[in-house]
Amino acid sequence: MKTTQIVLLGYMGSGKTAVGESLHKQLQMEFLDLDYYIEQKFNTPVTAIFEQKGELFFRAEERNALEELLQRDTPLILSLGGGTPCYYDTMEYLKGFDKLKTFYLQTGIGTLSERLEKAKRTRPLLAHLKDLDQIKEFVGKHLFERNPFYLQADYKIVTDHKSVETVALEIQNTLT
């Protein structure tokens, strides 16, 4: 069955949005970023949703938004938030769609930490961390907890030392 829904998942900073945009250009399919969709829906940045309503509210709305988008049943490239696969039964839920494939963008702790040090401001879960060493320690533990969810993806794409275009091409090569 032809894949018409491509779902990108992985830790914060793994390049989900950039790879999604590249696939969008190459495949001419609609691309949506789940965080961006939620921000538009609530007219509020994710960091402010966390601050004002708390993480549990965000997780529930994140799942609602995912269901809204997938129930449309239209061709779509969707990048999830880093935590989306790790709450509720989301990985099981994603497996229920015949034409949907999930891709785990797997990136090493060192690369993730360096990227996230620069982009910490927009990541509420990292706001309390003071320096690169603290970020590395946090990311290492967090990734260990999340990997069991991420590794349930249909494909694992290692992204270290690869360009966004190369990662996008590897994804395209798996599509039938």
Give the distance, in angstroms, between the CA of residue 118 and the centroid of all CA atoms in the same chain.
Answer: 18
User: Minimum CB separation from ligand S3P for residue 123, in Å?
Assistant: 5
Tell which residue, 62, 71, 75, 146, has the closest CA to residue 107.
146
Window contacting ligand S3P (CB under 6 A); options: 18-26, 96-104, 117-125, 133-141:
117-125
Of 56-115, binders to ligand S3P (CB under 6 A) are 81-83
Task: Using CB under 6 A, pick the residue from 123, 134, 138, 149 that binds ligand S3P.
Answer: 123
The two structure tokens encoding residue 63? 């799942």
Smallest gap from Cβ 8 to ligand S3P, in A, equals 10
- Residue 119: CA atoms inside 13 Å, Cβ hemisphere, count? 11
Q: Looking at 59-144, which runs of residues are DSSP E strands?
A: 76-79, 100-106
Which is closer to ligand S3P, CB of 83 or CB of 103? 83
Residue 112 near residue 14 (C-beta atoms within 8 A) = yes
Point out which span in 105-113, 120-128, 133-141, 157-165 binds ligand S3P (CB under 6 A): 120-128
Return residues touching ligand S3P (CB under 6 A): 12, 16, 35, 46, 81-83, 123-125
